[in-house]
């Protein structure tokens, strides 16, 4: 039941995100006087609609898309019937249908002749087409800011997460850089010395501790000498004395990859206690939220730029024995599955409980909105960025002609990019089908 609730939350979140994306197009279009004939959430058969004024508002059967239909998004061609214009709309799926009907025309009444999209200034066209992606950015910003400033995010803390049972004495190798415990290995010092899970370390050898880095550094550099730990356990403060065991560990580079020399791992002897760090919720100051969100946008953009490369791995995993990249692209089906897994998690109340699950679901929907923002900025039709690119080129042409005192070159016909749009639509359909298939037969799971 909890799994289904998580999936439903994601579906509703996706539908609302799409609806608000299209409102981002609708509001400035109406503000600038463009005639908007339809505002639809979803695609496929219409299950509900109402007409308000000149606009039909409705919901379609599959809530994974949407569109706003504006009159005259494409300028007339030589030979077009006077008073009629080719139709196109903001949604990717609906544009594919429109493009397949490229010869269809939409009647423009005489009183609407100046209410067509193509007659707007380039700046207003850009505002309308950027309205959708910017709405997704705003949604992502609000959701992420709310979570990180009001609730917080789990961060590594100077407390005990898990305790190892033993000291793994086997020598690390390239094949097994992190050997596991074997029969006969000595007990781990932390557990033998009285440490318990969730203990918070507040001082080592009399020195106050505030970060896990300080804890791990002190243990690593202990040189096998006894260490005194002051720990907070519930409402008590307890002193524990433990001697770290000397252990050969792999040397890691700046990217946390094992360092090798002549085909062998580079090792060094460090202190080992057998403690895995715990986590706690830490809030972020409001003034730091924009920087935090911007970092997430940059990370999202880097993933999207690598989608062609990543899709090779998705195909190999879907049709072969390869494993899915947990940081690779997923479809809405995959996002819904992750939402269900998050909702089904059993998280103790003292570790966040249901509130932590809600926060993770909110962040999942926020991440999806950041992905929609970045993806829609790609300057190719049928994406919003394709129309922005057309309007930008129009502004450059008009500005250059004005500067050189030449006649107005007229409107840029983005319909000339329809062959690219056909290709992009085919690519998008193929990617979507492949990702959905991969998310069914070999899904990415938060459980690994």
Please give the DSSP secondary-structure letter assigned to residue 288.
Answer: G
> Of all helices (H) and strands (E), which one includes residue 129?
helix 122-146
Identify whether the C-beta of residue 218 lies closer than 8 Å to the C-beta of residue 227. Answer: yes
d(CA 220, CA 242): 13
Contact 136, 19 (CB under 8 A): no
Side-chain half-sphere CA neighbours of 406 within 13 A = 9
* CA gap 55, 327 in Å, rounded: 41
How many Cα atoms within 13 Å fall on the side-chain side of residue 25?
31
Q: Among this protein's residues, is 237 annotated catalytic?
A: no
R_g (Cα) of the chain, nearest Å: 29
DSSP secondary-structure letter at 170?
S
Whether the Cβ atoms of residue 274 and residue 268 lie closer than 8 Å to each other? no
Under DSSP, the state recorded for 45 is E
Our CA dihedral for 342, 348, 351, 352, rounded to 10 degrees, sits at: 60
Q: Are strands 200-204 and 227-233 parallel, antiparallel or unpaired?
A: antiparallel
Please report, for the chain, how many H helices and E strands are present, in that order. 11, 14
Q: What is the DSSP string of 333-381?
A: HHHHHHHHHHHH----GGGTHHHHHHHHHHHHHHHHHHHHHHHHTSSST
CA-nearest of 116, 127, 121, 122 to 72 is 116
DSSP string, 289-318: HHHHHHHHHHHHHHHHHTHHHHHHHHHHHH
Three-state DSSP class for residue 88: coil
Residues forming the active site: 22
């Amino acid at each position: 039941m909890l799994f289904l609730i998580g999936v439903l939350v994601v579906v509703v979140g996706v539908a609302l995100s799409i609806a608000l994306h299209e409102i981002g197009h609708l509001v400035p279009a109406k503000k600038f006087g463009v005639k908007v004939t339809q505002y639809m959430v979803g695609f496929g058969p219409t299950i509900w609609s109402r007409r308000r004024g000149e606009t039909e508002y409705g919901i379609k059967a599959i809530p994974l898309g949407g569109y706003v239909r504006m009159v005259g998004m494409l300028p007339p061609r030589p030979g077009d019937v006077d008073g009629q214009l080719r139709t196109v709309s903001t949604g990717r799926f609906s544009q594919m249908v429109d493009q397949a009907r490229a010869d269809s025309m939409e009647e423009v009444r005489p009183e609407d002749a100046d209410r067509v999209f193509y007659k707007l200034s380039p700046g207003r066209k850009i505002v309308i087409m950027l309205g959708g992606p910017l709405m997704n950015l705003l949604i992502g910003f609000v959701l992420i800011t709310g979570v990180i400033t009001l609730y917080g995010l789990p961060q590594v803390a100077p407390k005990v997460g898990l305790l190892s049972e033993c000291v793994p004495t086997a020598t690390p190798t390239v094949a097994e850089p992190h050997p596991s415990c074997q029969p006969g290995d000595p007990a781990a010092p932390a557990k033998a010395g009285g440490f318990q899970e969730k203990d918070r370390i507040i001082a080592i050898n009399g020195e106050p501790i505030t970060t896990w880095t300080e804890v791990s550094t002190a243990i690593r550099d202990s040189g096998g000498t006894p260490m005194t730990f002051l720990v907070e356990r519930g409402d008590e403060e307890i002193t524990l004395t433990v001697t770290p065991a000397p252990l050969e560990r792999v040397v890691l580079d700046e990217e946390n990859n094992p360092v090798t020399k002549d085909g062998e791992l580079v090792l060094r002897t460090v202190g080992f206690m057998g403690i895995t760090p715990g986590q706690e919720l830490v809030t972020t100051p409001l003034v730091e939220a924009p920087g935090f969100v911007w970092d997430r946008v940059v990370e999202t953009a880097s993933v999207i730029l690598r989608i062609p490369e990543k899709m090779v791995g998705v195909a190999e995993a879907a049709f072969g024995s390869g494993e899915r990249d947990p940081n690779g692209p997923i479809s809405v089906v995959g996002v819904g599955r992750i939402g269900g897994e998050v909702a089904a998690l059993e998280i103790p109340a003292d570790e966040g409980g249901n509130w932590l699950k809600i926060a993770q679901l909110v962040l999942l929907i926020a991440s999806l909105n950041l992905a929609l923002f970045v993806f829609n900025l790609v300057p190719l039709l049928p994406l919003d960025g394709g129309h922005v690119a057309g309007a930008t080129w129009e502004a450059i042409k008009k500005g250059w002609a004005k500067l050189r005192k030449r006649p107005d070159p007229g409107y840029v016909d983005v319909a000339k990019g329809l062959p690219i749009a056909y290709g992009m639509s085919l690519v998008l359909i193929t990617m979507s089908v492949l990702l959905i298939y991969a998310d069914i037969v070999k899904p990415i799971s938060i459980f690994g």
